[in-house]
């Protein structure tokens, strides 16, 4: 029993992925910088990263490349990140896959890494502009009707 468990022990993650700034306001778009560390024993080259996200997070530029990473070395790349205006303030996952070359020339694909991105309420003080505009119109009409009744 015990020997087989030891052989099946999972390899440690080849990469460590961290995010410099993991918040975005609803309705905003910004650059998301991800730092990648080579957690293995071998130098890796042509490390291509692709990010995957779901609503309300989107990206119109979701790929990055790092030319080389020696063992223990870190480098970063930047993708575009947008949060929909109706996004609820909470954490959403951004997943990353890496394709890279080993020293022997083999191309490998990493496991999927997920980083949490915190969506914060929009800077406009809470309500999206569309809602505020509609309320102003409703109040103006209501005020005009009430004013006419008094006359």
* Residue 41 burial (C-beta neighbours within 10 Å; 0-12, 13-18, 19+): exposed
Chain CA centroid to CA 74, Å: 19
Omega of the bond leading into 51 within 30 degrees of 0 (cis):
no
pLDDT at 142: 61
- The closest of 24, 37, 23 to 77, measured between CA atoms, is 37
Q: How high is the pLDDT of residue 31? A: 96
Identify the pLDDT of residue 136: 59
The pLDDT value given to residue 150:
62
Mean pLDDT by 10 residues, the chain (151 residues): 49 88 95 96 97 96 97 97 95 97 97 96 62 57 61 61
Q: Tell me the three state secondary structure of residue 19.
A: strand
């Amino acid at each position: 029993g015990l020997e087989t468990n030891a052989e099946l022990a999972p390899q440690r993650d080849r990469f460590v992925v961290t995010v410099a700034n993991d918040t975005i306001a609803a309705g905003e778009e910004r650059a998301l910088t991800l730092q990648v560390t080579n957690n293995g024993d071998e130098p890796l080259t042509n490390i291509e990263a692709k990010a995957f996200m779901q609503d309300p997070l989107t990206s119109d530029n979701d790929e990055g490349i790092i030319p080389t990473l020696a063992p223990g070395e870190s480098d970063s790349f930047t993708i575009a990140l947008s949060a929909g205006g109706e996004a609820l303030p909470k954490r959403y996952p951004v997943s990353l896959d890496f394709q890279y070359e080993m020293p022997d020339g083999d191309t490998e694909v990493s496991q999927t890494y997920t980083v949490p991105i915190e969506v914060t309420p929009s800077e406009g003080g809470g309500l999206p502009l569309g809602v505020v505009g509609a309320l102003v119109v409703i109040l103006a009409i209501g005020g005009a009707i009430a004013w006419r009744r008094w006359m």
